[in-house]
A and B are shown apart, each in its own frame.
Chain A
Amino acid sequence: MIPGSFEYHRPADLAEAVALLGKLDSDARVIAGGHSLIPMMKLRLAAPTHLVDLAGVAEPKGVRLENGEIVIGAMTTQHEVIGSELLARHAPILRETAELIADPQVRYQGTIGGNVANGDPGNDMPALMMAFGASYVLRGANGERRVAARDYYLLPYETATRPGEVLAAIRVPAPPAGHGGAYEKLKRKVGDYAAAAAAAILTVAGGRVATCAIGLTNVAGTPLLARDAAAAVVGTALDKPALARAAAAATAITEPAADGRGSAEYRVRMAGVMTARALARAFARASS
């Protein structure tokens, strides 16, 4: 399969990338790892006229702690997310999730920025970022702005990124020590998108859930923040009735399509099952 023709650009820094995007026509696209975009181009589902390759842009790579936030450069690969000691210490759910994305070769190339900015509801990191209350740093001709992950996803492949903007970084509020997190992904095989998946991040005090946030993957046109499901377990010891209420609240907001992964009804039910499993595992990992 051969993609359509395009012109290739390799800016040396983000400023040059932004300047290029301002100059080129509206069918220009940014390419990072390319492992979502190139398959789309081969299928001719995407036909950009220009590709602005961020591979030569050094700035948005790597992970650091800054003012209580974990800052992850958009060009950080999934392989680097898995290998990050800082993330393993402060937010191990990121590593756990990255390990469930695609396969080793794809993870060497695929970036966390591409995963969150692509707007594919099947991508795994967005639900996590919504649960974390993370924000995305978008660089444009007029400087930087921040958009909350919870406000970023509008429709399938439609995000709050404006024409001419590039995702520079993801800022994750460092979760408190002792928090528990878990990502449960139901998939048919290695490399598959989720039939349904849930991210749960919670804190526990005195044996009861003190705070909780839940994100859902691939069970609607966008990733979802399951507010009612999270509220259903706060204050409980995560007993069976609480888990059942959370699962029911999560399934209530899903609207998946039927596909090769299962019927819509099945995927709705699995969203509830994944929610309950993620909560139980996050709870077991949290320390009071």
Chain B
Amino acid sequence: MSLTNVSMTVNGKAVSAAVEPRTLLIHYLRENLGLTGAHIGCDTSHCGACTVDLDGRSVKSCTMFAVQAAGANVLTIEGLAGADGKLHVLQEAFREMHGLQCGYCTPGMIMRAYRLLKENPSPSESEIRIGISGNLCRCTGYQNIVGAIQYAAAKMAGLEVKEAAE
């Protein structure tokens, strides 16, 4: 099968790789670009572990071909922290609020929360739960993930944030 050159912008950098049309975006990111932050969980578009941000939308990268993303602007968890290594407020929030245990769902959760807060900077608890309903976590029971997103929303708005109880 012939290879196609697929170019896009990932985490602010122009990238290109020769792949088959059937190459999924998640495989392009992980295997061609070596960006293993986005995870393959269910591989059936249910769990959301592979979520990345693509042209202002949260996308399950296991359910999109890389060729479909040609020319797109993609942000993965690797592109979230500052150039100096300073954590993005969402990353800080998940750490501070214990928003993860095993961490497998975390890159997808954070990338989804990133877009959710762009669209709705002050979501209610219910809006957060609906907003992350396409992301499964099998450890936390979601409580601390919701808390982390609330923490990040508050911090982004310049409000005092409540630290998690140790």
A residues with a Cβ closer than 8 A to B are 1-8, 10, 31, 34-35, 38-39, 41-42, 51, 53, 55, 79, 102-106, 108-109, 190-191
11 examples of A-B residue contacts, CB within 8 angstroms: A2-B24, A10-B67, A34-B63, A42-B44, A53-B67, A104-B58, A104-B130, A104-B131, A105-B51, A105-B57, A191-B134
> Closest residue to B108 on the A side, CB-wise?
A105
- Place the interface of chain B in its size category: 20 to 34
Residues from chain B with a CB closer than 8 A to the CB of A51 are 21, 65
Closest partner residue, chain B, to A51 (CB atom): B21
In the assembled complex, which residues on chain A have CB atoms less than 8 Å from the CB atom of B43? 1, 42
User: Contact between B20 and A5 (Cβ–Cβ < 8 Å)?
Assistant: yes
Contacts of B68 in A (CB 8 A): 31, 34, 53, 55
**Among A6, A7, A191, which residue has its beta carbon within 8 angstroms of that of B133?**
A191
Query: How many angstroms between the C-alpha atoms of A39 and B65 in the bound complex?
Result: 11
When distances are taken between beta carbons in the complex, the residues of chain B under 8 Å from A105 are 45, 48, 51, 57-60, 112, 134
Q: A3-B22, A6-B22, A79-B57 are in contact. Are A38 and B134 (CB under 8 A)?
A: no
**If A34-B64, A38-B64, A104-B58 touch, does A8 touch B4 (CB 8 Å cutoff)?**
yes
Of A5, A34, A38, A104, the residue contacting B1 (CB under 8 A) is A5
| Interface set of B (CB-CB < 8 Å, partner A) | 1, 4, 20-22, 24, 43-46, 48, 51, 57-60, 63-65, 67-68, 112, 116, 130-134
Residues B44 and A39 in contact, CB atoms below 8 Å apart: yes
Which residues of B are found within 8 Å of A42, using beta-carbon distances? 43-44
Contact A38 B67 (CB under 8 A): no
Nearest CB of B to A55, in Å: 6
Nearest chain B CB to A29 CB, angstrom units: 13
Tell me, in angstroms, the Cα distance from A169 to B22 when the chains sit together.
28
Q: Who on chain A is nearest to B50 by CB?
A: A105
Give the shortest distance, in Å, between B155 (CB) and chain A (any CB).
Answer: 22
Closest residue of A by beta carbon distance from B63: A38
